[in-house]
Every structure is written in C-alpha cells, then in structure tokens.
Structure 1
C-alpha cells in the first residue's frame, strides 16, 4: 500500500498526516506548534495514542526532521511513502489545479505571497525543508484558491478601476477551496443526480466562508482577495464599510496596518463576546445567560445566512445546503439559528435530527417536506490532498 505525507505549514505551526488516499483514518497525524519559540513541541498521534516531544530545532526544519525521524524509527510499519502533498493557501490566478512542485511552481507560490505573506512564505519554507529531507519523491501543491478559478468575471472582479486588476491582479480569489471540492465530491456519492445539482456550502470554523456550487463548480464565494472578506469569523470581522479602517486608525492613533490587525485578530466572535473566539466556549456562556455570548452567536448566524442568500443569487435553485467545518459540523445551535434566518427561501430544519446529528458522520437534517436537502458533511481536506498527490504521481509515471 502506498502512502502520502500531507503537510500544512503555518507561520508558527505545521500540521501533518500520513494517509493512503482512502477513507481509512490517517496512519499517523500530528502538529508542531509554537515554531520560532524555544517552547516549540510536536505531537504524534498513532494507533490511538498521543505522544508529545520538544523540538531540538525550533523551526519548520526541526518539525519535518522530527517527522522523518519518527518514520525512520518505525520500520516495522513498512511504510511506503511515495509523495508529499502540501496545502498552499494562495495560488492567485497562476494555479487553477494541483501541480507537481518544481522550481517554477515554487517561484509562483512565492509571487502569490504578496496576497498571503504569512501563509505562502511558510508554505515555501515547509516545501523546501520537506524537499531536502524527502527529496527523492514527488512533492505536490494543492491550492485553497484553485477551486474558485471557475468564477465568472462579474463575480470575481471588484468594482474598482480596471487598471488595478490588469496591473496588480486585485480581485476576489476565495479560500477553503479544497474543503469545498471535497464536499462537492462527497455529496455526489449520496445521490445519482446530486453531482449536477445546485448546492450552498457553509464552511464554518475559526475561519468561515460560504460557496455556491453549480454542477460541482464554484460560481460564487464569500472570501475575497484575502480571508478577511465575507462572514464574521472567530477573530476576523468579515466584510464591513472600508472607511471603518481609517476611522479606527484615526480614533486609536494607530497605523492602518495596526487597525487591520484589529480586524483580523481581535474582532469577530472574540471581539463581540469579549469571551473567546471559540464557539464552544461562547455557547456555554450563552447557555448560562451571558448576553454578550448570545449577541455574538446571533451576529455570526445572521451574517452567515445573509452571505448564503447572497451567493444563492448565482443559482437557479438551491437543491442542497451543506454545513461543514468545526462549527458547521458540531454546533446544532448555530445550524438552527442560520436555517431560521433562511426560512424565506423555504429552508426548514428538522430540529430533532439537527440536535442528534452524530459527530463525524454524514447526516440529513432537513424536514421531510423541505425541497432543499440540509446536510451535515464532515470535511476532509487532508484526504483530498493525498488523493491529488497520488493522482499526479500516477499521471506523471504513465507519461
């Protein structure tokens, strides 16, 4: 059996998994955290057991070296890792599909870093380190933005001078594309004609967005040139009057960049609740009667519903609504609040089915008479990255 090492590099973290490209659970998974700090550590979860160890080198190289050491130390598993799949946040207009990484691809990822400097530069660092340690096998880049390259110009362009698009490529790119592509493929397996139908997907987590999918292709999404646009999120404000950025800068006597940091890091659920960016913590506070928590959840649900209704204008009908992501999969409270606000679209939730939806499983939670199917479908971006990597490796081998 062949396996793929899936790597997801952040600026101070590195998530990883070893997968065989099937629905089987990962053979190994874990995360290296606090990279760049002397307190950096890496966790390994194997066969239901989790171990944590400090990193000798406190950077991405140290994390990948520790993964390589674990693999080399467990020869009894007879692992056959044939490729490394890398999640890359921003592919700009350069990449509309997953690709085998060469020097030209690496250069393209670096060029796209101006739109996602923290993410893409970390990806480049992770790729270079992984190539050095696993250099004799192919490496593949899978882009969050690629799925949305099917958007029409009237959806991806901003109403700003066209020269800014021509000269600088300022436009909507959208994110969570790997998750949306996985959901579209998974939904297609649940009904004979589902692949050709119209779907709204709400990927709700600390980062949150929605997407309208027509016959498996993205036709609109809520995130923009960066992940700040669109829904209210864990710490991000989502869409608001652009002038507010200047007002915050003037009022707080801070730079525009510092004002932008407030919108990215101190807003959303965290900013409104003044409790946490974690939806579970806020729901606990709401149940105990905290008004700030109630307001934060209502705002989150309201803005999600508005954006779902907005992107739905690009579909002739709405055959399915899918909830996914950490909040979408696990919060009956949020799902109910969102669907309640979509009643004018004929959206009717089965409250009991919603409440008992089993964790980690596909569930149909709409009322029987509802023309729109409402689903909870757990996403699996790592599996799609592994499958893309295997597919490209096999394609290259057959040429």
Structure 2
C-alpha cells in the first residue's frame, strides 16, 4: 500500500487529501486558508475527527511545514517517508501536456514556460510542488492538469477565429478546464449505468466556477471554458461568454484599465453581479423566494445559459445517452437541476423522477424516470481520487 498526498495550492489557500492506494481509502483531508492574512485557519479531518486551528502563517512554505507537522502530530502519518507520492493539481498544461506526468526538472521548466496562460493559477500550483519537493525527498511529485482531458478536441473546435498567427505565436486557443472532474464523471457513469450509456455524455460541472463538456466514447469533443476559466457559462463571480467589445466599452465609460475590467468580469460579475447579493446560489435563491427580482433574474439566466450549451452539445454529439450534474450546485441544488431540465426536456425527451431528484444531495444517483430517453445522473465530484490514481499509476511504473 502507498499513501498519496493530493495538493491543490491556491494563491492564499491549500486543499489536501491523503489517500491510501490502491484501495482508495481517504485517510485525511483538510484546508488551510487565508495564508498571509490575519487569522490563517487550518481545518483537518481524520478518523471521524475535525480539528480547527488558527495560526499566523505568512507564506506557503510555513503553511506546508505546518500541515506536515500536524499530520505527524495527530498520528495520521508516522513520518515523512510514509508518503510515497504527492500529486499537484495544475490548472493549465497548454498544448504540451496531454497527460499527467512526474515533475522532473525538464517538465517543471515546461510548466513555467506556460505560466502566462494561467497567471492567477499556475504559479500558486507550482509553489505547492516547490515546497513539497523540499519536504518529501523520497516521494515522487506528479502534475495533473485541468486542461489535459480536453486535448482530444478537434482543431476546428479549439481554434479561435482570430488572426491565426496569434495562435502560432502565443498558443491562443480553447483549452478548457475541470478535466479531472470530467474524468471522474466518465468513470462513474461507466460504473453506475454501464458502457451502453456512456457513448454520449454531457457533463455539467456546476460550482462557483462552472463548465460543461461534451464527451463521446470517453473523450472530450467540446467544452465551455476557453483559453481561461472566464469563458463559457455564467458562474458565481465570472461573466462567462459575452461580446468582446464590452471590455473596451466599460474601460472607456468607467475610465478603467483592461486589467480592471477583467477583474470585474472575473470577480464581480456572474450571479453576484446580476443579483447584487452573493455569488452563493443558496443566498440568491433565498432572496428570490423572498421576492427579490434581480435574484430571480440571476437564477433564470444561469439555468438558461446551461440549457443552451446542453442543446448545442446534443447536436454536436449526434444525440445523448447520459446527462450528468456534478460539483457543488450540480450535486446539491435540486431546484436548479429541475429548472435546467425543464428547458430541454421536450427537445431531448428527458423525464425526471421528481421525488428522487428532490431527495438527492451530495450523493451519486440516477434522477431520471425509467421512461426517460436520456438518463440523468448526479455524480459527486471527486477530483482528488483521479489525481491519486494517476500518482499511483506513475509510482507503479517506476517500481
């Protein structure tokens, strides 16, 4: 057996899971948030226990050292040698990385070269590797890319209608994200409903960040996010697709820089921007039920845009076998699932089992009726187990 530590390092946070492979036993999970802020918090889950600690941590190096210290102190691991592999979620792999890889000196340099494609994500992700490499001398370090699943898209799908020399010079194209989540969906559909229902899948990863993928025979043929996670669906704080000239218009009228406008589109738009209340659908739904019209509009816009992508991908797939909802909103908000299905059910001949749909929250389930032409599933997002499997496969290949 081998313990795999899965790391998702953000600019001010670190999420982790410790998983025993190959049995896929989740030993511990947790989160360090507000790094380099007052009141840095560590939440640690293990063996049915939950520990919350507030401790000033001024940088990622201190945070990772503290995490390992707490894993040892609470007997979650005996020592550093207990961890055989460390898997790092890397947001962007560009065109170079089509699969997960062990991070070598050469691979590290290649990832560094494409930092400009994800300046808000990749540097923080790589910081996790740098720190864990120093702490865990005997563990292999593995990079698992959000973009790699979508490398199967065809050229006419991923190419933008801009001067082609910009693609050749900078790699400006659609890449897509949430790839590890979609890989989990493909595996779970196979396990839940069998191979006959996995040929044509539309998967909706609906969280604060949201995207949709069209998956044919286990391969991505299209996805809603583009060069960056800003494209595609309306999200918690992101605008999703809009007329590009809006950027110049806002910059001119509001006397803002392009960077300031992009900040608005990334952090102040979407459900938050329309509702003017929150990026959390639970808060917005409560306000809508209390009669707030902008909250009602935000929810309706969100569902409508998702339904539009489902319709487009239905055509591209040449039909549909299984529609999947995953991630926070997809797993937990039965009203949103119902609202989306209502907009496509006649065209796609989908019939929900209303009783089952209303009862499903954060669990894998089939929520369509037996007479539905398309199966509708809820799948709990589990990107960490996908990362752990990739780590274990690479670890085995080295033995």
TM-score computed with the length of structure 2 as normaliser:
0.96
Q: Distance in 1 between matches of 2:37 and 2:28?
A: 25
The aligned residue for residue 10 of structure 1 is 10
Any idea what SS the aligned residue of 2:186 has? Answer: helix
Q: Distance in 2 between matches of 1:286 and 1:25?
A: 41
Q: Are 1:68 and 2:68 matched, yes or no?
A: yes
Match of 1:192 among 191, 194, 197: 194
Deviation at 1:50, TM superposition (A): 2.0
Any idea what SS the aligned residue of 1:35 has? Answer: coil
Q: Distance in 1 between matches of 2:240 and 2:291?
A: 26
Q: Is the 8 A contact 2:22 2:392 kept in 1?
A: no
Deviation at 1:326, TM superposition (A): 0.1
**Which range moved further: 185-194 or 376-385?**
185-194
Q: Is the 8 A contact 1:18 1:28 kept in 2?
A: yes
Change (3 A) 1:211 1:350: same
Change (3 A) 1:75 1:365: closer
Q: Are 1:122 and 2:136 matched, yes or no?
A: no
Deviation at 1:241, TM superposition (A): 0.3
The aligned residue for residue 42 of structure 1 is 42
Any idea what SS the aligned residue of 1:20 has? Answer: strand
Match of 1:379 among 354, 372, 381: 381
Match of 1:175 among 174, 177, 183: 177
Any idea what SS the aligned residue of 1:190 has? Answer: helix
Q: Distance in 1 between matches of 2:76 and 2:94?
A: 42
The aligned residue for residue 232 of structure 1 is 234
Change (3 A) 1:130 1:347: same
* Runs of 5+ unmatched residues, structure 1: none
Q: Distance in 2 between matches of 1:139 and 1:116?
A: 21
The aligned residue for residue 348 of structure 2 is 345
Provide, for residues 110-164 of structure 1, a one-character-per-residue CA deviation record: whole Å limited to 9, x for no partner: 1221011121000111110010011221010100000000000010000111111
The aligned residue for residue 217 of structure 1 is 219
Q: Distance in 1 between matches of 2:366 and 2:9?
A: 34
Q: Are 1:262 and 2:264 matched, yes or no?
A: yes
The aligned residue for residue 104 of structure 1 is 106
Number of corresponding residues: 396
Q: Is the 8 A contact 2:322 2:376 kept in 1?
A: yes
Q: Are 1:396 and 2:398 matched, yes or no?
A: yes
Deviation at 1:56, TM superposition (A): 4.6
Q: Is the 8 A contact 1:200 1:320 kept in 2?
A: yes
Deviation at 1:77, TM superposition (A): 5.5
Q: Distance in 2 between matches of 1:338 and 1:98?
A: 33
Q: Distance in 2 between matches of 1:332 and 1:236?
A: 22
Q: Distance in 2 between matches of 1:142 and 1:294?
A: 38
Deviation at 1:195, TM superposition (A): 6.7
The aligned residue for residue 248 of structure 2 is 246
Q: Distance in 2 between matches of 1:144 and 1:63?
A: 24
State the superposition RMSD in angstroms.
1.6
The aligned residue for residue 203 of structure 1 is 205
Q: Distance in 2 between matches of 1:395 and 1:312?
A: 39
The aligned residue for residue 136 of structure 2 is 134
The aligned residue for residue 354 of structure 1 is 357
Q: Distance in 1 between matches of 2:111 and 2:196?
A: 34
**Which range moved further: 77-86 or 96-105?**
77-86
* Runs of 5+ unmatched residues, structure 2: none
TM-score computed with the length of structure 1 as normaliser:
0.96
